[in-house]
Amino acid sequence: MKDLNVDHLVQRVLEEIAKNRQTAIHFPEQKQLGVPQPNNREALERAMGRTPARIGIGRAGTRLKTQSYLQFRIDQAAAQDAVMKSIDPGWIERLQLPALYTRAKDMEEYLMNLDSGRLLSDESAAWLSQHGEKGKDVQIIISDGLSTSACEATIPDLLPALMQGLALRKISVARPLFIHRGRVWVQDHVASIVKCKVVISLIGERPGLATAESLSAYMVYQPSERIVESDRTVISNIHRGGTPPIEAGAYLAELLEDILRCQASGVAYAQKRMKEQ
């Protein structure tokens, strides 16, 4: 019996799946019960249907079954790819987004130096100061963050729903921006330039083995140098298996309207809402 080259087999599986996908790489696990003759099949299948966790996969002796091991390697590769790959410039052009950059010159610097992703580069800051739309109610920022795949998979549906929801509420919105290698705090720098009331960042989350396409939305009311993390309102797990992008866009528009009404975000916003109830 010939030795099984697992790395070669994983690569072949990845190549085959990638051929059939034209969007962001995402490899959802086809959940199959791997436990032979379980004591309570119905309960186990019900649990498997309620969580993306790897349960009920069975084993071969003391090891994972080949199918489970290969799926793990595929999901791991998708997570790594989501972090390291560059976003397609054509994707940004199709959405008609101005592309700005932080001070992180590449992904290595972005990952190793947190501050490099928190400020715009001098060139991008100068462009925004000259061309940015000032004094609007809302400024939308889109950033690849730690998952390019999240942006590619969710933004085309989320952004139109969000823009439409804000328009219906007669909330003024500056032209959305795309920021390469941005972290959450870059929204503070952007807001200090455009002088908006609320800034919202749609940013790729750190990918996990359940999905590499999860997006988060961070909102802050009138950010300043005194802003701390508890001043931000966060909605996470925006993806097909969590909150669907279109639904998230509609909900975020409603939430932004309420943040503007309360003139607060984060903990202060939550406290005001509790008092109203």
Distance CA 204, CA 217 (A): 9
Query: Six-digit token pair at 166?
Result: 């804000």
- Using CA atoms of 165, 170, 172, 177 in order, give the dihedral in degrees to the nearest 10: 10
267 in a labelled binding site = no
184 is in an annotated binding site: yes
CA dist 254 and 235 (Å) reads: 13
8 Å CB contact between 159 and 176: yes
Which strands form 138-143's sheet, in the order they lie side by side? 99-101, 177-180, 138-143, 198-204, 215-221, 233-238
Contacts of 19 (CB under 8 A, 6+ apart): none
Binding site members for adenosylcob(III)alamin: 184, 205
Q: Where is the binding site, in residues?
A: 184, 205
